[in-house]
Amino acid sequence: MKQLILPGLFFLAFFTACSSRSDNNPRAVTDGAWRVSHFSERGDDETGDFSGYTFTFAGNGSASAVKQGAGKSGSWSLNSTSTRFSIDFGPKTDANKPLGELTDNWMVISLTDREIKLTDDNASSAEFLTFTKN
């Protein structure tokens, strides 16, 4: 009997820890303006590249990034289980920096009404992105 209890407790603790995303409310994404509070790639902090940008995510899947009155349109989506967050602000080219760096299919680390923490779905890129509500 003890042999069954210990693995069961481990599974319960693991399942609870993995499913403890604070809010997971997709509507929280569309409420208000956001800023990039962290962006890193392979250990290099590139958060400063997004200084001054304000991001909004509309309920119809459109996104916008505005800096000093100039804007760029894009798109976003969140899958039905709130585990994948896709962003598209155009290609990852030098001409489209820094917004193109956000174009990706991200895995959701956590999603609350104040913060969206993401990591690249390609682990080898070691990219991390955090949006914080303004």
- The tally of domains found in the chain comes to 1
Q: What is the pLDDT of residues 15-52, one digit of tens each?
A: 334 433 445 566 789 999 999 999 999 999 999 999 99
Kindly report the CA angle at 18 between 50 and 22, in degrees rounded to 5? 55
Q: What is the pLDDT of residues 80-114, one digit of tens each?
A: 999 999 999 999 999 999 999 999 999 999 999 99
**pTM higher than 0.75:** yes
pLDDT at 123: 86
d(CA 108, CA 29) in angstroms, rounded, equals: 12
Q: What domain range includes position 118?
A: 2-133
Q: What is the pLDDT of residues 59-72, one digit of tens each?
A: 999 999 999 999 99
How would DSSP label each residue in 36-77? EEEEEETTEE-GGGGTT-EEEE-TTSEEEEEETTEEEEEEEE
CATH number of the domain where residue 109 is located: 2.40.128.270
Look at 116 and 1; give whichever has higher pLDDT.
116
